[in-house]
Copies of this chain bind each other. A is one copy, B any other.
Amino acid sequence: MDDLRRRIPDKKEPESRPDSESDHRDELDSEDDKVDAAQTIPQGTDKTPEVLTDVLSGLSSRWRNWVIRTIFTLFMIGLFGFIIYLGPLALMITTLLVQVKCFEEIINIGYAVYRIHGLPWFRSLSWYFLLTSNYFFYGESLVDYFGVVINRTEYLKFLVTYHRFISFCLYVSGFVWFVLSLVKKYYMKQFSLFAWTHVALLIVVTQSYLIIQNIFTGLIWFIIPVSMIVCNDVWAYLFGFFFGRTPLIKLSPKKTWEGFIGGGIATVIFGLIASYILCQYQYFVCPIEYTEDAGRMTMECDPSPLFRPQQYTLPQSFASIATAIGFSGTITLYPFLLHSLSMSLFSSVIGPFGGFFASGFKRAFKIKDFGDVIPGHGGIMDRFDCQYLMATFVNVYISSFIQMSSPQKILQQVLTLKPEQQLSLFNMLKFELEERGILTRSPMIQP
């Protein structure tokens, strides 16, 4: 997100960026070189394919960058579309891969900031913690969604029953390992990196777990927010590039109010159109469920009222205007469109702060980009910084406004109880429902 809004012509290169991109392209090529160049922190190198550099050699650097960025933006959007086409499993694997790459980028910065050579076990420990926390979080959602199936397979059952305990043991082993690996000379660096690793886990693992949860609620809850952030990025960049004049925030001197507002408006419009289209396909709106018969994840359902057209009556004042110009006093739309509106507002007002944060972070540690994977864009983390904030918002939004725990999910929980407990719950519920007249009273059912 970061670089997107700062492409207005601006001579003031911030002081904290000691090296230009091109200096680095030759200097630091392999991963190892970076770490060895301990004096300066590795900068994102630009991996633009040579053929492109040749073709674009006639353009000014500003426009060359524009073209490269555009090409790779389109490429990434296409890739994203293809992964959606492949289905939810592919999306989850992609989320996992992106998460691992982001973690690597953050950890590499910490590695370089604290200039560590021969610090015992640090890298292995970080990856171990990544594994452990993924085991815990992914396990938790697998248990939620495949619990009943896994419970049937005898030798997997203990993995479900003792999931938290196993995760905790794994974590504590890492913790003990860390304490045993402490070396007097390095105490402070080791503790700083321990904290660094944990903050990275907090940002990357917990939030990508929320993304997976969103996917399970229905692909639309994943695709719309992700593409809103992309849309906001792209349009803010374009508005800023062509009309940008008024600086927005000191932190990112190339971001402008024009980009911010233009991007926001474009995002709201895009969000409504995209939501309208996606609302019409079960593939996008149905929760993902593991169907035992098919042995795979399916997205078929009777769509929830959220995705069925509904008539809203306009407030009196609006209605009178509407009828005056020939419309009826009511409006028919998918209720989801209203949620789409909240999401697009969040993604264009608060979303950019994720970018500012990343931007400030990069300045704090004097790096240009998190990595060099995507030509013209930097690292994966440079493109996903706002996605994480957005995913958390959507997750909280769903749990607060949409999915007030569903009967199906609670039933799953009930079925993990012992039979006699299930029966006792049944009778308690029966009593409660009869008390409140929701159920007509009938004699107590005995087992």
Contacts and interface: CB of A to CB of B under 8 A. Distances in A.
Given A188-B365, A407-B421, A356 B168 contact: no
Given A405-B416, A422-B438, A439-B447, A353 B179 contact: yes
Given A182-B251, A416-B404, A191 B350 contact: no
Contact of A179 (B164, B360, B442): B360
A425 B397 contact: no
A396 B164 contact: yes
A202 interface: yes
Interface string A407-437: 1101101111111011111101110110010
A243 interface: no
Nearest to A202: B198
Given A191-B360, A195-B199, A426 B433 contact: yes
A345 to B, nearest CB: 13
Q: Interface range on chain A: under 10, 10 to 19, 20 to 34, or 35 or more?
A: 35 or more
A160 to B, nearest CB: 11
Contacts of A424: 407
A196 interface: yes
A400 B353 contact: no
Given A164-B396, A432-B415, A447 B438 contact: yes
A389 B168 CA distance: 11
Interface string A193-223: 0011011001000000000000000000000
Given A179-B360, A202-B198, A413 B416 contact: no
A217 to B, nearest CB: 15
A55 interface: no
A271 B356 CA distance: 52
6 contacts: A175-B353, A187-B360, A190-B360, A406-B421, A422-B432, A440-B446
